Amino acid sequence: MKISKVEFQNFRNFRDHCELTFPTDGSVTVIYGPNGVGKTTLHQLFQWIFYGEVHFNKTASNKMYNLDFEQSVGFHKTFPVLGVIDFEHPNAAGVVEYYSLRREWIYQKEQYESKVITKKFRLSKRIGDDWKTVSDNPENIIEQILPSGLSQYFFFDGESMIADLNQKGRDSAKSLRKALYSIFDLDIYEQALVHIGTQSSGTSTVLGKLYLSRAENSTNKDVIIARGAYNQSLKKVESLEEEIERCKNAIARYKAEAQDLSEKIGSNPSQEALEKRRKKARDAIKTIEGAIQREMKSFGATVMANYPYLLISRVVEEAELRIGLKVEDQKLLPGLTKDLVLSLLNEHTCLCGNPIHESEHAELESLLKMFPPLSYKYIYDQFKNSATRWSATYDSEILLKHLEAIFQYRDQIASLQQEIHDIDEEQKQGENVDALIAKRAKAEESQRYWRGELDKFTKELGLQEQIKKQRKKKLDDLLARVGENEKLDAQIQIIEAVRVYYDSTLKASAKRYSETLRHAIQDLLGKMLTSTRQVSMTEKFELSVRDSFGDEAKSEGQFAVVSFAYIGGIFKLLGDVPALRDKEFPLILDGPFSKLDVIQRQNVIDTIPAYAPQVILFSKDDINACFGEEGVKNVWTIYSNAERNVSHVERGYNPEVFSVNGTDY
Amino acid sequence: MTKEQAVDFMIKKVEEIERERLAAHFSIDPTKQKKEVVDGILKALKGVEIDHEDQQS
């Protein structure tokens, strides 16, 4: 598989839509981003799109959205988080096929935390010029193409690897063992061995059951007594094993509790810190209340500016009705004015020279009444013009925006009041340090008690194991004397042979894979380190690197080189496995380049392109020069705002970002 | 069948049963699952008929 494009919106730091394209010709891509801008988030995005799961600080998170984006959404409204990956992948016949994978989670905003209400997942395949949705188990297709058990190696976090190497690499060994056992089906063999068990492992295993069946079939009195005694021992041992498990669980629980309490003691906020937080929240409430006052004033001003229009438009409507009855346009001839009517009333003859009779005089009188002091028609027209003018500026949305802003401010106040309430609660519950220390002492005391119990039961188990062994030997002797049970003996022999097969296959496979991996790591370290280092790897995949004096590597620089060699070795191992040989996997590597010196860095960059058919590197350090005079061809840079909560990605190399150390860019 | 054939048969059978268990990994209680696997292997074993001559050889 090679990724050609990733597209996303509203994913953690990345509020706005971003799109990155990648070459699929084998050339390396570098994504630059200093601490805090969203480098890890972008690295995790790939896993979220493929598998719907991410881990931030080793904790699985469901909160994928950008907090700034969420704040802009109204309560109970929904909003999406989107991620798309376009990739190409050769089919069984070696023909390259093109896919587009889209994951979308729809959230609903609630008072305290938005919740996922819908999860959408769609895989499309390009057929000709069209994209067809793959409806037949798309998750399984992704699993076949990019097995989730190996995801931490396709999307490798070098920093975490270094932290683990500091702890003797136990976590890495454990998870690598799990991943490889799953990929090579060795977990099936491992579990089969547990279920087959041994002849002395009791009634919960195949061989244990077969052995007891053999004894149960006998009618010999001594065998019956010996079988009863052996059964008792089995039950006793099983019960002790359960007790030991219970003790171990209790110890682990109290140990975790003590650790948790230690952290609380260490991080227990002082009264002063709580008061500071409370004051901050109260100040914020005051500021928001001021903003509400301003919004209310603006609302009032908007109403005052627009209300006359509402009033006048109502008057105009009524006036129109009334005047409609009174004003008859045909009676007020065009051009007829009040002055002309008054002048005619004072005359005896008309302008045309004809006399003005009594009836015409009365008509003029009635016309005059229609002009007091201006015509209704004139007033109506004036109102109408004003109303039209006001209506052009009136916008109900403006009023609505003021109201919405007020509601949002009130929500913010409610949230801050809740925060103050939480601080009060924290203060109440935030047992004083003395109480926490007393609790921790109690948890440690409980640990001691359970350790004592564990010792007691372990000793008892040792004794009972001895008794069980003796009783089994006695039963074995008796069974040998009373003769063979052909069928059961044959069955036991068959299952013993099956057990030997699984056991030897498992051991041989673990040895082969760990040796292949060790050799690959040794080879890469030889290319990357100037001094000689001896790599060893147990069959449980525990890695150690020693110098010529036999001392283990300790420096972070060496661990960093080892982490690169480790991932390179794993890709080499995957390439050697027949079932995976024809598949191609990308390497999206968050590399600890800052811990390497100049020579190590160059050596690492020289070997990286050979690890996988596609390599995408995340780096906070400028590694451009390591790629020769032309530098890296495919570069993207992550930029962030001052608050580090809104980031975006731009194509191109920007040397300035490396000189602005610790500040925003 | 001969003992060798029986061993080969059981190796495949155990693997098959374990694969089924793995497929149902998230849906069944582990203790119950273990019991089912053990009983399943024993049941498969009961169906194996060993050649008498082979046993003697």
Tokens of A328: 């008859």
For chain A, the helix, strand and coil percentages under 3-state DSSP, each to the nearest 5: 60, 15, 25
| Nearest CB to B34; choose among A195, A495, A497 | A195
Cβ contact B35–A204 (<8 Å): yes
Residue A205 in contact with residue B38, Cβ under 8 Å? yes
Selection from B47, B44, B55 nearest residue B4 by Cα? B55
Task: Look at residue A464 and tell me whether its pLDDT is greater than 60.
Answer: yes
What pLDDT is attached to residue B55?
46
Those residues with Cβ within 8 angstroms of residue A574's Cβ, 6 or more apart along the chain or in another chain: A150, A153, A580, A585
One-letter-per-residue 3-state SS of A27-95: CCEEEECCCCCCHHHHHHHHHHHHHCCCEECCEECCCCCCHHHHHCCCCCCEEEEEEEEEEEEECCCCC
> Per the structure block, which two tokens stand in for A541?
């995949």
Q: How many CB atoms lie within 10 A of CB A296?
A: 14
Binned at pLDDT 50, 70 and 90, residue A665 comes out as: very low
**Cβ–Cβ contact B38 with A under 8 A:** yes
The count of C-alpha atoms lying within 13 angstroms of the C-alpha of A71, restricted to the half-sphere facing its C-beta, is 11
Q: What per-residue confidence (pLDDT) applies to A74?
A: 87
Distance from the Cα of B43 to chain A's closest Cα (Å) equals 10
Residues A204, B22: C-beta atoms closer than 8 Å: no
Q: Give the model's pLDDT for residue A660.
A: 53
Residue showing tokens 């008859």: A328
Most confident of A81-90, A386-395, B27-36: A81-90
Q: What is the pTM of this model?
A: 0.66
C-alpha span between A334 and A320 (Å, rounded): 20
Compute the distance between CA of residue A177 and CA of residue A286 in angstroms, rounded to an integer.
57
A375: pLDDT strictly greater than 60 = no
Chain B: residue whose CA lies nearest to A501: B11
The mean per-residue pLDDT over the stretch A70-88 comes to 92
Burial of A21 (0-12, 13-18, 19+ CB in 10 A): middle
- 3-state SS class at A539: coil
- Residue A489: closest C-alpha in chain B: B55
Scan for tokens 């227990």, then name that residue: A268
A195 vs B10, B11, B37: nearest CB: B37
**CB–CB contact B7 A501 (8 Å):** yes
pLDDT tens, per residue, chain B with 57 residues: 888 999 999 999 999 999 888 776 655 677 778 888 999 999 999 988 877 654 444
By Cβ distance, the residue of A188, A204, A491 closest to B34 is A204
Q: Six-digit token pair at A140? A: 């399984």
DSSP symbols for A198-218: -TTSGGGSHHHHHHHHHHHT-
Q: What is the pLDDT of residue A659?
A: 65
Residue A20 in 3-state DSSP? strand
* Residue of chain B nearest A190, judged by CA positions: B18
What is the pLDDT confidence band of residue A268, given thresholds at 50, 70 and 90? low
Residues of B in contact with A493 (CB under 8 A): 3
3-class DSSP state of A138: helix
The answer to whether A192 contacts B48, with C-beta atoms less than 8 Å apart, is no
Query: Which DSSP helix (H) or strand (E) runs through A443?
Result: helix A433-481
Per CB-CB distance under 8 Å, the chain A contacts of B37 are: 191, 195
- The torsion region of residue A565 among left (phi > 0), alpha (psi -120 to 50) and beta comes to alpha
Chain B residues with beta carbon closer than 8 angstroms to that of A196 = 14, 41
HEC readout, A318-370 = HHHHHHHHHCCCCCCCCCCCHHHHHHHHCCCECCCCCECCHHHHHHHHHHHHC
Q: Is residue B10 less than 8 Å (CB to CB) from chain A?
A: yes
| Cβ-based contacts under 8 A for chains A and B | 63
The stretch A625-641 carries a mean pLDDT of 88
CB atoms within 10 A of CB A387: 21
What mean pLDDT comes out for the span A65-75? Answer: 88
- Which among A189, A204, A486 has the least Cβ separation from residue B55? A486
Asked whether A31 and A39 are in contact (CB, 8 A), the reply is yes
pLDDT in tens, A489-504: 889 999 999 999 999 9
Q: Under an 8 A CB cutoff, do B22 and A188 touch?
A: yes
CA distances from A562 to A128, A163, A169, A172 (A): 45, 12, 11, 12
CB B56 within 8 A of CB B14: no
**Tokens 């089994």 map to which residue?**
A472
Give this complex's ipTM: 0.91
Chain A segment 501-560 residues within 8 A of B by beta carbon are 501-502
Worst-scoring range by mean pLDDT, A6-15, A158-167, A304-313, A615-624? A304-313
Q: Mean of the per-residue pLDDT values for chain A?
A: 85
Q: Does B16 touch chain A (CB under 8 A)?
A: no
Shortest alpha-carbon distance between residue A498 and chain B (Å): 6
Q: Are B42 and A210 within 8 A, CB to CB?
A: yes
Q: What is the pLDDT of residue A394?
A: 64
Chain B residues closer than 8 Å to A198 by CB: none
**Would an 8 Å CB–CB cutoff place A486 in contact with chain B?**
yes
Task: Return the residue in B38, B42, B46 with the most chain A beta carbons within 10 A, the one to mutate for interface testing.
Answer: B38
Nearest to A570 by CA among A519, A526, A536: A519
Nearest CA in chain A to B31: A204
Comparing A66 with A265, which gets the higher pLDDT?
A66
pLDDT band at A312 (very low <50, low <70, confident <90, very high): low
Share of residues in chain A with pLDDT > 90 (%): 40
Give yes or no for residue A571 having a pLDDT over 70: yes
Return d(Cα A186, Cα A509) in angstroms, integer.
Answer: 8
The sign one gets for the Cα dihedral A566, A568, A574, A580 is positive
Reported confidence tier of residue A662, pLDDT bands at 50, 70, 90: very low
Residue of A nearest to B43 (CA): A206
Rounded Cα–Cα distance for residues A496 and A489 (Å): 10
Q: Is A130 exposed, middle or buried (0-12, 13-18, 19+ CB in 10 A)?
A: exposed
Contact B19 A205 (CB under 8 A): no
CB-CB contact of A484 with A528 (8 Å): no
Q: Which residues of chain A make contact with B34, given a CB cutoff of 8 A?
A: 194-195, 204
Q: Are A657 and A636 in contact (CB under 8 A)?
A: no
Please tell me the predicted confidence (pLDDT) of residue A55. Answer: 67
d(CA A198, CA A205): 7
Nearest CA in chain A to B23: A188
Subunit contact A195:B7, Cβ cutoff 8 A: no
CB A13 within 8 A of CB A23: no
Q: Do B45 and A495 lie within an 8 Å CB cutoff?
A: yes
Residues in chain A, total: 665
